[in-house]
């Protein structure tokens, strides 16, 4: 782009943001620098601004900055540059920052953003890059923090002192938010070395949310000494959670860690647990702890459950149901969700008298059956499908993507 063309583009860009009937939105191209002549009294209705690039320079004297309410900043921008711009944006309601150049040792005055309700930080796998921003920004007391993170290792692995600083910075924002907005649905996601706590999507929708609710990553290596997690377990932060989702990404040596399983005590009011047989199997490795979890549990929802396999343990969902019955807290409803074609026979569930089994499957349709009624043949999902030649062919095609 020639200099003449670039200047022409700048003029067209800013003229398009002059006062009109409603507030404006803008995405700033990554290579464009706007001189003060174009950023003075232009765009007084600009409210939403997104910049993506490594060389953008904010004009902190531009009066339109103070009007911005929703900002996204992505790129390898200097920490001082970002903070300097934020100081001129007191009206921010949501802020999303995606970069990897944050200097953790930068000190300075606190940036007051009294109306900030949602702060999203994306720093790939190096979670520690967000510490300085969390320490410098003072948002609204009920600001929601979201750190999406990656389903991968922390890179580089944090030192214990660094991680303590990270948790201190997180705590200052997370605890006040949870006190004001206690969630009812929470996702706990296990990855190789990270445990994510995430607010469920059924929370009250906010059209400006860049991510549904809070999302906080914990480094499992230091999970046993996590003061933040201990406070969450001992407080009423999750006392309103009635639906808990447990999932895992990949393999990890930490899944069976006692401290990780014990953390689930933070959810005493859960009535619905949604998970998989693989996760249930991991919980059952810590039998004595798992027996004390979820005292109010009514419904177990398991996705793609396993059936009996020769030479292997009983299916995890079967063992979990037995454990609950043994400790005097039987599950009332078992929901089976089948996403794939390989549906096992599950008539062994008949022994759980009174248990209401519900299922949903492309091949078997939707149905329900109360165990102990003598009609357990309806739970022979695999056998029932193959008894019908046409349905069996559909199963074969589904399994092999034909």
pTM of the model: 0.82
How does DSSP assign 62-129, residue by residue? -GGGGG--EEEEESS--HHHHHHHHTT-TT-SEEEEE-S---TT-----EE-TT--EEEEE-TT-GGG
Q: Could you tell me how far CA 156 lies from the centroid of its own chain?
A: 22
Q: Is residue 309 included in any domain, yes or no? A: yes
DSSP state for residue 214 in the 8-state scheme: -
Spell 296-328 as b/e; 16+ CB within 10 A means b.
Answer: ebebbbbbebbbeeeeeeebbbbbbbebbbeee
What is the per-residue pLDDT for 21? 34
pLDDT band of residue 35 (cuts 50, 70, 90) is very low
Range of lowest pLDDT (69-83, 173-187, 316-330)? 69-83
Average pLDDT of the chain to the nearest whole number: 79
Report which of residues 201 and 136 the model is more confident about: 136
Q: What is the mean pLDDT of residues 106-119?
A: 87
Is pLDDT above 60 for 18? Answer: no
pLDDT band of residue 23 (cuts 50, 70, 90) is very low
pLDDT digits (tens, 9 = 90+) for 234-290: 888 899 999 999 988 776 666 666 778 888 999 999 999 999 999 999 899 988 999
Is pLDDT above 80 for 205? Answer: no
Q: Is residue 41 included in any domain, yes or no? A: no
Q: How far apart are CA 305 and CA 354, in angstroms?
A: 20
Q: Is residue 280 included in any domain, yes or no? A: yes
Report which of residues 301 and 102 the model is more confident about: 301
Most confident among 16-20, 26-30, 168-172 (mean pLDDT): 168-172
* Domains contained in the chain, number: 1
Q: Is residue 336 included in any domain, yes or no? A: yes
pLDDT band of residue 315 (cuts 50, 70, 90) is very high
What is the per-residue pLDDT for 22? 44
Range of lowest pLDDT (18-32, 170-184, 300-314)? 18-32
pLDDT band of residue 200 (cuts 50, 70, 90) is confident
pLDDT band of residue 102 (cuts 50, 70, 90) is low
Instruction: Compute and round to an integer the Cα radius of gyration of the chain.
Output: 26
Q: Is residue 396 included in any domain, yes or no? A: yes
Is pLDDT above 90 for 324? Answer: yes
Look up the domain containing 309 and give its range: 271-402
Per the structure block, which two tokens stand in for 153? 């290792």
On the 0-12 / 13-18 / 19+ scale of CB atoms within 10 A, 126 is: middle
Q: Is residue 166 included in any domain, yes or no? A: no
DSSP state for residue 174 in the 8-state scheme: H
Q: Is residue 323 included in any domain, yes or no? A: yes
Q: Is residue 156 included in any domain, yes or no? A: no
What is the per-residue pLDDT for 124? 62
Helix (H) or strand (E) holding 322: helix 316-326
Most confident among 8-17, 67-76, 78-87, 88-97 (mean pLDDT): 88-97
Q: What is the mean pLDDT of residues 324-342?
A: 89
Is pLDDT above 70 for 386? Answer: no
pLDDT band of residue 393 (cuts 50, 70, 90) is low
Per the structure block, which two tokens stand in for 1? 């782009």
């Amino acid at each position: 782009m020639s200099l003449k063309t670039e200047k022409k583009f700048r003029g067209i860009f800013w003229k398009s943001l002059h006062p009109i009937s409603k507030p404006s939105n803008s995405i700033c191209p990554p290579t464009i620098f706007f001189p003060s002549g174009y950023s003075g009294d232009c765009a007084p209705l600009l409210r939403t601004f997104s910049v993506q690039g490594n060389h953008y320079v904010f004009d902190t004297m531009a009066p339109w900055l103070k009007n911005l309410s929703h900002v996204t900043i992505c790129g390898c921008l200097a920490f001082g540059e970002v903070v300097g711009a934020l100081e001129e944006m007191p009206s921010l309601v949501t802020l999303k920052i995606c970069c990897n150049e944050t200097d953790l040792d930068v000190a300075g005055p606190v940036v007051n953003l009294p109306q900030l309700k949602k702060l999203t930080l994306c720093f790939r796998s190096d979670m520690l890059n967000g510490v300085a921003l969390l320490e410098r920004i003072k948002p609204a007391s009920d600001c929601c923090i979201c750190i999406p993170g990656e389903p991968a290792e922390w890179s580089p692995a944090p030192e214990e002192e660094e991680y303590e600083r990270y948790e201190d910075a997180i705590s200052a924002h997370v605890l006040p938010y949870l006190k004001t907005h206690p969630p009812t649905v929470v996702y706990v996601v296990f990855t190789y070395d990270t445990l994510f706590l995430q607010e469920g999507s059924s929370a009250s929708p906010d059209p400006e949310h860049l991510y549904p609710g809070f999302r906080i990553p914990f480094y499992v290596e230091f999970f046993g000494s996590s003061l933040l997690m201990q406070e969450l377990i001992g407080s009423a932060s999750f006392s309103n959670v009635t639906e808990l989702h447990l999932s895992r990404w990949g393999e990890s040596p930490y899944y069976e860690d006692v401290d990780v399983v014990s953390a689930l005590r933070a959810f005493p009011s859960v009535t619905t647990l949604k998970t998989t047989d693989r996760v249930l199997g991991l919980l059952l490795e810590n039998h004595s702890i798992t027996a004390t979890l979820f005292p109010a549990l009514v419904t177990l929802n398991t996705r793609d459950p396993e059936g009996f396999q020769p030479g292997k343990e009983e299916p995890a969902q079967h063992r979990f149901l037995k454990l609950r019955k043994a400790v005097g807290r039987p599950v009332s409803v078992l929901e089976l969700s089948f996403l794939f074609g390989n549906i096992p026979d599950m008539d062994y569930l008949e022994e759980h008298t009174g248990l209401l089994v519900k299922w949903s499957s492309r091949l078997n349709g939707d149905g329900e059956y109360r165990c102990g009624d003598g009609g357990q043949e309806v739970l022979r999902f695999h056998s029932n499908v193959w008894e019908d030649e046409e349905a069996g062919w559909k199963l074969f095609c589904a399994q092999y993507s034909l």
